[in-house]
Amino acid sequence: MGSSAELPLTRESVIAAHDLIKPNIHLTPVQTNTTLSNLASTPQTAEALKGTQWEGQEPARPKIKLFFKCENFQRIGAFKVRGAFHAVKRLIEREGLEEVRRKGVVTHSSGNHAQALALAAETFNIPAHIVMPKISTPSKIAGTQAQGAIVHFSGSTSQEREAVVAAVIKDTGATLVPPYDHPHIILGQGTVALELTEQASSLIASDSGLSVKEGKLGLDAVIAPCGGGGMLAGNAVALHGTGIKVFAAEPSFEGGDDARRGVAAGARITSVKTLTIADGLRTPLGETNWKIVADPSYVHSLYSVTEDNIRDAMRLVLERMKCFVEPSAVVGLATILYNEDFRKVVEREAGEEGWNIGVIFSGGNTTIEAIMKMFAPVGDVKAEREQGVVGEDGERVAENVAG
């Protein structure tokens, strides 16, 4: 996508993006859960901390009330439609619908962005070319084709995917709509935070047991998962200057916490190879997103959680909230429940008053079969995982495949 018509990365631009895409997206619900808020406010036991970096330390005692933004109920089952519709509609504004239809759009993705761009393009009768690795999950390929997209298969490396994208652009003139590393994608994803803060404020105001703090929107903090960083950066832009702190959550497995490590080192990490069960977060932080995520005035701090933490959090959501989510969606909740560094920040900064924290459930695009494998005895999938054939969720995986 050309740079001449890019909007500045400001809260005002996110508000404008929301106005533009409202007719095309669902207003997803914000839910609360007393059991999970109570668990978040209960100190971890010495047994739970055994074997962690916090073993032997006094557990944190934060006071937390949780508000869950359920993007698993969004169209195509994930937040990605927000950025896709915003990018496509801005492209139409710039070039005109007939010209965009003549050339089409193209992207590379193995999952949610593929389906999101396919849906946005189909809505306006625009040809969509989606480059997907041959080893992409069959259900995601089928979901993309069901939206009318033309799927082009490639190898799994970034070089192989980009070569196919370049060939499509040469043949068709199609415009590239990146999965996460573009201002219009970032601004579209940031609309999650606008809705979350307004919905949470209404819930807080209507609940006699909670109070809206003077001068605030109701929430004290928002935590979001981070893969390529489009949603995290968008939410940070949307909430900049509001007084609401933004935190990031990543999986630690096999270096999946590249954003956290990069910020700590002062340099963006450009390659990630991890088979974390949080498969939507296997991508490296995008270059545009890095500039926002690495700025502490936008993102307060970043945290990581283990595979067991993610499983435990997912089990709680499935069983206690009756809410169908994918592993990537619960890394924020896992951080709140199990990462003592984060919990100590809340205890220290919130004090006795406690914090109202918004948690973004990014999506629900998994399958019953994948969930069964994820909770099966480790030995059932260990051999295949060690061979690099499947991830811990039992699905075939590729390096750095953008969601």
Buried b (16+ CB within 10 A) or exposed e, 107-143: bbbbbbbbbbbbbbbebbebbbbbbbbebbbeebbeb
Residue 303 in this model has a pLDDT that exceeds 70: yes
Residue 23 CB-half CA count within 13 A: 4
Scanning the structure block, which residue is given the tokens 């109070």? 211
Residue 370's pLDDT is what? Answer: 87
Given a cut of 60, whether residue 2 has pLDDT beyond it is no
Could you give the CA distance from residue 356 to residue 223 in angstroms, rounded to a whole number? 11
β-pair partners for 370: none
Spatial strand order of the sheet with 150-154 comes to: 150-154, 128-133, 105-108, 175-176
CA dist list (Å): 217 to 92, 198, 232: 34, 7, 19
Among candidates 111, 73, 81, 75, which has minimal Cα distance to 323? 73
Q: Which helix (H) or strand (E) holds 360?
A: strand 355-361
Residue 390 has pLDDT above 70, yes or no: no
At 391 the pLDDT is: 37
Give the active site residue among 69, 80, 89, 373.
Answer: 80
Catalytic option among 13, 110, 136, 154: 110
Of the two residues 60 and 395, the one the predictor is more confident about is 60
CA–CA separation, 273 and 390 (whole Å): 13
pLDDT digits (tens, 9 = 90+) for 67-126: 999 999 999 999 999 999 999 999 999 999 999 999 999 999 877 899 999 999 999 999
Contact yes or no for 18/192 (Cβ under 8 A): no
The residue with greater pLDDT, 18 or 381, is 18
Residues 256/237, Cβ–Cβ less than 8 Å? no
**Which residue segments constitute the domains of the chain, with CATH numbers given?**
11-77+185-379 (3.40.50.1100), 80-180 (3.40.50.1100)
Burial tier of 176 (Cβ tally within 10 Å: 0-12, 13-18, 19+): middle
The length of the chain, given as a count of residues: 403
- Predicted confidence at residue 4, as pLDDT, reads 46
Active site residue 362: no
136 is an active site residue = no
pLDDT at residue 288 tops 60:
yes
CB 249 within 8 A of CB 335: yes
pTM here? 0.90
- Residue 43 is encoded by which pair of tokens? 């100190």
Q: Extract the runs of DSSP E, i.e. beta strands, from 144-231.
A: 150-154, 175-176, 221-225
